[in-house]
Structure 1
Amino acid sequence: MADQQQPPPQVLLVTFASQGHINPSLQFANKLINNGVHVTLMSASSMIHQFNKASPVHGLSYAYYSDGYDHAFQLSGDTNHYLSETKRHGTRSLREFLADQGTRFTSIVYCTLLPWVATVAREFHIPATLLWFQPASLLNICYHYFKGYDAIITKNIDDPMFTVQMPGLPPLSRHDLPSFFIPSNPQAMPLFTMKEHVEVLDQETNPRVLVNTFDLLETEAIKAADKWYSMVGIGPLMPNLAETSLGGDLFKVTKEHREMEWLNTKPETSVIYVAFGSLSILAKPQMELLAKGLLETGRPFLWVIRESTDEQEKDPLSRLNELKKLGMIVPWCSQVKVLSHPSIGCFLTHSGWNSTFESLVSGVPMVTFPQWVDQGTNSKLVQDVWKTGVRLRQNEDGMVEAGEIKRCLEMVMGGEEIKKNAKKWKDLAKEAVEEGGTSYNNIKAFVEELTNK
């Protein structure tokens, strides 16, 4: 009698309810599926139905946990409350789901901001692995903070001259550290969530973290973590432009890809791309200064301005007609496609990790304008470690003047050394995911381990 074929490994991939987490989750799922793994993607029921999903994918199914907002997507509200409610409701609904069919899962992979998933997985004796969507450097910063650096950082966080040196990291000022380290920051909840992540890792034997990075990009940070946990670079977790079966946009893309047609009319590396992610919205006065700075460069630009629910922020920019003559304004677009277009010469970004990584992979230099969470850290790495961009300087009132915006854009658009570095990281990222590359091999090793369980 012929041996029965071994069933494929079953992975439950639990991800947070935001655009910046859903997209890399889908790309990670795709890599597992391509290696013979069946993936069940679980996210909050309040938003997973909003995906602009294409046709069904063989090897991928969906499940939902409750975040307390099952009929209305509320992430743009009080983040602290949302994270708390997600943990409370999600823990209960995940327990119910695993009690019903958990024994079929070989492993659970849980993503950033969901450490409670690992606790539930342990209750059901299912191995759990963290999939970290920020740079390896940020996890190291958080780990060191809770292992003795919290006192010195808290004591000196208001000192503009303060810097701290942690293993495997460059010297970090208060502006380079995560915003949730600042006691006065209203979005403090991520600090407690990060502490939970560290505590969960401490409870594991030989903990491993899959990271959306690649080994050569963060060599020192990855090496420095070896004493506490193993970091495994599996990135970049970005869609192949030819791959249309997997994708989840929570915002409507502009009709008929008109921005791509517009970009096709522009010379190579001539366009400034401006976007601030799926959560950050600049205040109206800063938007006016940004508009002024863009106009003063005289360069074409593609600016993503999401539609605001705040009535005060719906007022049109004072120089809107001038802006439309020089550039194009859209409510949303496919960022990976835009950054891959040859006309793009610079990315003015909030420097969230997905945007930063996508820019690195596309070889596009950056002007960074960090707002909160990990964005200051990412900006530090862009400017001082990878040297692919510059960071905007704020004035005493916390505003960035139009002249500063113009200065940095001109510096990056004309900076040959910055362009050279951008190309270097683009080439290295490509090598990492090709057959035999470090990220390619790390994914293969993870799948092999699943198969042998």
Structure 2
Amino acid sequence: MAMPPVLDVARRHGIPLAVFWNQPATVLAAYYHYYHGHRETVASHASDPSHEVVLPGMEPLHIHSLPSFLVDAAHNKLSRLVVNGFQELFEFMDREKPKVLVNTLTGLEAATLTALQPYLQEVFAVGHMPPVSTKARIHMFQQDSKNYMEWLDTHGERSVVYISFGSVLTYSKRQIEEILHGMQECGRPYLWVVRKDGRDEELSYLVDNIDDHRGMVVEWCDQLDVLSHPSVGCFVTHCGWNSTLESLALGVPIVATPNWSDQPTIAHLVEEKWRTGTRMYRDDEGVIAGTELAKGVEFIMGNSMKAIEIRETANAFKHKIHEEAVKGETSKINLHSFAKTMIHSCKEIKIMSSYDK
């Protein structure tokens, strides 16, 4: 989905091509309908976050819940690049009708997957895809040498706040300060991932000198191990799709802090559709205020009826996803069907090539 040049290579050599969509089916649907009759509607309301957009087969979405590149009123260079690149992809999909493999679960987005069928014809759920074995994991960054798992062992059940903005987003100095103040305000223990890449000298000094006995700051960690630990009570996340799937699969409630790309849509799904968390909003500088973060954490970790319902729902999703993963029926059938079709197509190409020779 992110490599348009592959389309030309496949076309030139007659190689069968499928699209692997590593975002929710809801985001796929939003992009599809944006390029098929709804571009002007979205663009004309891009500056109105409260405006609701109704797309075919989908529940209404506020402008601020659509993928950020589609509603960037400033039209920055990256947004233009993504919008133009995806337009090429969807033009190819219209023309060639490829199979579309979506890294999602039918149990999460059944209605959306069904609603896409008349438009994309062969769209399949093939998720979710986190590794089940420690040996199967490849880490993008070196894990911190601190004994964070032993540190988690020292805390009570569902007492620790886990904070990570993933492998791409970096923190500004102000955002570091706001998160620190927010966690000090709510007074709960926290495990916070702050990567070293992208830090300038001032930011490194600030992070390295955080003095708060309630928290542990690490450069990187094994997220699946952390989310599996019974002491973790909530996940403050940027709502990247992999992180969200992992949180859903392990039953950890979410404090969503989306920033860009598909993250606002995923945060909407978390809060409004699946009801496994709450969403925070960034200010005009793209920063989550510490006081707002503290409110979000306290809400999810608290004992209100709504917080209890969110925790129960998150736990229910954990069991639902586990059952679907163990049975593997839908995703397994879809993958087997895809593999057989591709093998058959490749054999046909090989035969035709031998005739040409």
Judging changes above 3 Å, is the alpha-carbon distance between structure 1 residues 411 and 185 closer, same or farther for their aligned structure 2 residues?
farther
Report what 1:276 is aligned to: 165
How far the C-alpha of 1:398 sits from its partner, in A, is 4.8
Q: Select 1:332's aligned residue among 206, 214, 220.
A: 220
- 2:240 corresponds to which of 327, 330, 352: 352
TM-score by length of 2: 0.89
**Structure 2: distance between partners of 1:432 and 1:231:** 18
Task: Say whether residues 1:392 and 2:277 are aligned partners.
Answer: no
State the partner residue of 1:167. 56
Asked whether the 8 Å contact 1:137–1:218 carries over to 2, the reply is: yes
- Give runs of aligned pairs for residues 113-262 of structure 1, distance below 5 A: 113-181=2-70, 182-186=72-76, 187-188=78-79, 189-205=81-97, 207-229=98-120, 230-240=122-132, 242-244=133-135, 246-255=136-145, 258-262=147-151
Alignment-derived partner of residue 433 in structure 1: 325
- Structure 1 residue 406: Cα displacement: 1.1
- d(CA) in 2 for partners of 1:347 and 1:145? 31
Contact 1:136 1:231 in 2 (8 A): no
The question of whether the paired residues in 1 share the 8 Å contact of 2:24 and 2:104 is answered with yes
Q: CA deviation at 1:298?
A: 1.5
Aligned-partner Cα distance in 1 for 2:92–2:301: 44
2:6 partner SS: helix
Asked if the contact 1:179–1:185 (Cα under 8 Å) also holds between the matched residues in 2, the reply is no
Conserved? CA contact 1:288–1:317, under 8 Å: no
TM-aligned CA distance change 1:254 to 1:228, over 3 Å: same
Q: Which moved more, 1:185-194 or 1:389-398?
A: 389-398
3-state SS of the aligned residue for 2:106? coil
- Provide the residue aligned with 2:350 in structure 1: none
Residues 16 and 342 in structure 2, CA contact (< 8 A), matched pair in contact too: no
Give unmatched runs, 5+ long, in structure 1.
1-111
CA–CA distance in 2 between the matches of 1:161 and 1:330? 37
Take 1:139 and 1:276, find their aligned partners in 2: how far apart are those partners? 23
2:182 matches 1:293: yes
Counterpart contact for 1:214–1:234, Cα < 8 Å? yes
CA–CA distance in 2 between the matches of 1:338 and 1:168? 37
In 2: Cα distance, 1:317 partner to 1:237 partner: 32
Q: 1:304 to 1:318 in 2, by over 3 A?
A: closer
**Residue identity in the other structure for 2:206:** P
**CA distance in structure 2 between the aligned counterparts of 1:150 and 1:404, rounded to whole angstroms:** 33
1:343 corresponds in structure 2 to 231
Contact 1:433 1:440 in 2 (8 A): no
Q: Cα–Cα, structure 1 residues 128 and 162, in superposed 2: closer, same or farther, change >3 Å?
A: same
* Structure with greater contact order relative to length (CA < 8 Å, sep ≥ 6): 2
> Which deviations, in whole Å up to 9, do the C-alpha atoms of 1:403-426 show, x marking residues without a partner?
211111111113111011111221
What is the CA distance between 1:399 and its match in structure 2? 3.7
Q: Deviations over 1:247-271 (max 9, x none)?
A: 332211122x611121122211111
Q: After TM superposition, give the deviation of residue 393 of structure 1 in Å.
A: 3.0
8 A contact 2:251–2:317 mirrored in 1: yes
387-396 or 343-352: which moved more?
387-396
Unpaired runs of 5+ residues, structure 2, are 346-357
Tell me the equivalent position of 1:99. none
Structure-2 separation of matches of 1:394 and 1:212: 27
Cα pair 2:251 2:318 within 8 Å, conserved: yes
- Aligned-pair CA distance for 1:185: 4.7
Q: How much has 1:113 moved relative to structure 2?
A: 0.3
**How many residues were matched structurally?**
336
Secondary structure of 1:346's aligned partner? strand
- Within 1, Cα distance between the matches of 2:341 and 2:50? 47
Name the CA distance, whole Å, in 1 between partners of 2:84 and 2:289: 34
State the secondary structure of the residue aligned to 2:278.
strand
- Distance in structure 2 (CA, Å) of the matches to 1:377 and 1:164: 13
Change (3 A) 1:310 1:196: farther
Alignment CA distance shift 1:436-1:156 (3 Å): closer
Q: In structure 1, give the amino acid aligned to 2:316.
A: K
Once the two structures are superposed, the pairs formed by residues 57-136 of structure 1 within 5 Å of their partners are 112-136=1-25
Sequence identity of aligned pairs in percent? 37
One-letter amino acid matched to 1:305: V
Higher share in helix: 2
* Structure 1 position 173, deviation (Å): 1.7
User: Once the two structures are superposed, what CA deviation does each residue of 1:140-199 show, in whole Å capped at 9, x if it has no partner?
Assistant: 111111111110111111123311011233322221111112141532121122112211
C-alpha separation between the residues in 1 aligned to 2:200 and 2:89? 34
1:383 Cα offset (Å): 0.4
String of CA shifts for 1:223-263, please: whole Å, max 9, x gaps.
111112122111111101x340x3332211122x6111211
Cα 1:159–1:333, aligned 2, differ >3 Å: closer, same or farther? Answer: same
Q: Is the 8 A contact 1:288 1:318 kept in 2?
A: no
Paired residue secondary structure (1:218):
helix
**For residues 208 and 149 of structure 2, what CA distance do their matches in structure 1 show?**
26
